[in-house]
Structure 1
Amino acid sequence: MKAFLILEDGHVFTGTSIGSKKEVISEIVFNTSMTGYLEVLTDPSYAGQAVCMTYPLIGNYGICYDDQESLRPWPDAYIVRELSRIPSNFRCRDTIQNFLRRFDIPGIAGIDTRALTRILREKGTMNGMVTTRENYNLDEIIPQLKAYTTGKVVEKVTCSEKYTLKGEGLKVALMDFGAKRNIAQSLNRRGCEVTIYPALTAAKEILAAKPDGIMLSNGPGDPKDCESIIKEVRTLYDSDVPIFAICLGHQLMALAAGLNTHKMKYGHRGGNHPVKDLDTGSVYISSQNHGYVVDTNDLDPEIAVPSFINVNDGTNEGLKYVNKNIFTVQFHPEACPGPQDSGHLFDKFIEMMGGN
């Protein structure tokens, strides 16, 4: 069956329908990872977005359920150049086609993803529609596309109630703003007992549990839409509990401390982004998935100082807070399938909590 991707600037791509046949409007973004498509599909940070994979062949090793970063896929739609029809892997349990259909996610294959990516790079991230309607009317659709917003998606992806990964070591409270599974596992593998809290949990409840440290997770959407969460993060900021934050958590901590964020032209999404550690001069290859960034142009050095920058464009990739046991990064040190260059930041957090 034919499918169409319609962008808000009027571009139309024609391909083949994959997954669900339903029609969706979403923010169209691209990911440059060459592998790890299941981790991309199950990353809650993609809620409210349709993902275009720039690597041309997707699905060749099928679906390996142990690799999921959450219990279900989150993108509104999936866009690929070529979808493998016959996956081959001893761990394979399903195909992407069946996986998308099971969770009612539409997609489109067979389009020129390189051309789509160039449009998004030149004009910036824009909204689009994936549809199987052949009698679509651009004059009706484009105003709908321009009016679309992702809305408050953190509430959509967070856990419904708190739960705990048992451990014999330090106790960590993990705020789930759309947490990838491997964040909690990275701490648990280091012996920590990790309690995962829903995003709207009050700071006083977390502090009453007397954790040794607090983790703020990744998540989807515009951080400025999380007004009530930012107020709670401010209370955590004012405490003396060590805090480590990743991605959306990094942005929320910045807003809680009085800093600012802004939307990027097309963001960073992929597993090949170089970041420089400003303390050591070392450069790490990192996994990233974000469309917003902390603005450091007017950064007050009495509040925080940059700790990492993106080598490609110079944007902020991390902050150290002055006179606080708080450090935050924009990238994903817990990344699976990789790269694992910056996984040692979890060890730094352990040490900051007084562990070894």
Structure 2
Amino acid sequence: MVLKNVALLNPLVPHYREEFFKQLASHVNLDIYVYENGSEYANFKVSELQVKNIKNFGFLGNRFIFYSIFPLLTKKYDTLVLMLHFGHISAWFLLLTQVFHRKKVILWGQGISVKRYLQEQKKPNLLFRWMIGLSHGVWLYTEEEQKQWKKIFPGKSIVALNNTISGVEDVLATDYTADERRGLKEKHRIQQEICFIYCARFDNPYRRFDLLIQTIELLEPQRYGFIIIGDGIHKPDFKAYPNVYDYGKVYEKQLKDELFSIADLYYQPGWIGLSVVEAMAYGKPILTFRRSDQILQCVEYSYIQDRRNGILLNDLEELKQSLSHMVRNDMDEMGRASKQIVKSKLLMRNMTENALSIL
């Protein structure tokens, strides 16, 4: 069988995407082009996967980017995977000149703006509509966005990748007994009966760190503990709270396994993204706030099924009331549901197969 020759463009390759690219490369001849410098990401682990840097320049705060099209137009490639980003001027050029270069163009992205989600849910972005219309096919992150665009382009190859993370199978396999979890609590000197865990970068205020602090101050510190994983310029000072256990950046799997095993619930007030997949794979119920004009959520928010594998909250009072009525069996049941959703939809091989289905 002759393998397809594919050029794929991304800003960079984060560690959580590495396995996806490796699996793709086992089915196609894949070259990955990047246009950003990973050294600029202080609180972000960049993969060491081999990539090709592409010349580029941006303007208006990099909302619009030109990148060199010449490496992508070499005869070796029959398929280009470009970003579904209407600010990529070069992507427009490649879409509009397909009749000349005769390469298949697949677009990869969310298909909807996180900041304008509620509006675009009702009225899809016109520029996205034009880009998708010009493409051969689209990789979207989740089934919610796939359904929306399939209604508009029923005959086009549009797939939901079901966005997931590298190593998700290893996370699913993590299993500590009740006695082992008690021992880990003693090891980490965590005394509270119920523990939340937060695991995301503090680089985006849309994650609503203000609500995280308000929650810490609202709940009884002798009963509720908070494990914090992450760093960033917007990180609050947690030193004043004796029930907060701050571990900063954590990439060591053994430590992460221990901290997630100690935790009873995953809590991130806003901007829920791929971190939810990791938390679900660890078997944690997810607590977050409903998407609204004030609470922005990423597309992976759709993985949370209210009262099945988590709770979608309206306000802090509802959070307090929900916790007061929650028993251990409720948490265990929602945690099992989280794991089951990951096993059925969010394994890396599923993401790869979905991508390959239109390659």
TM (norm. structure 1) is 0.31
Higher strand share goes to which structure?
A: 1
Higher helix share goes to which structure?
A: 2
TM (norm. structure 2) is 0.30
Which protein is bigger by CA-based radius of gyration?
Answer: 2
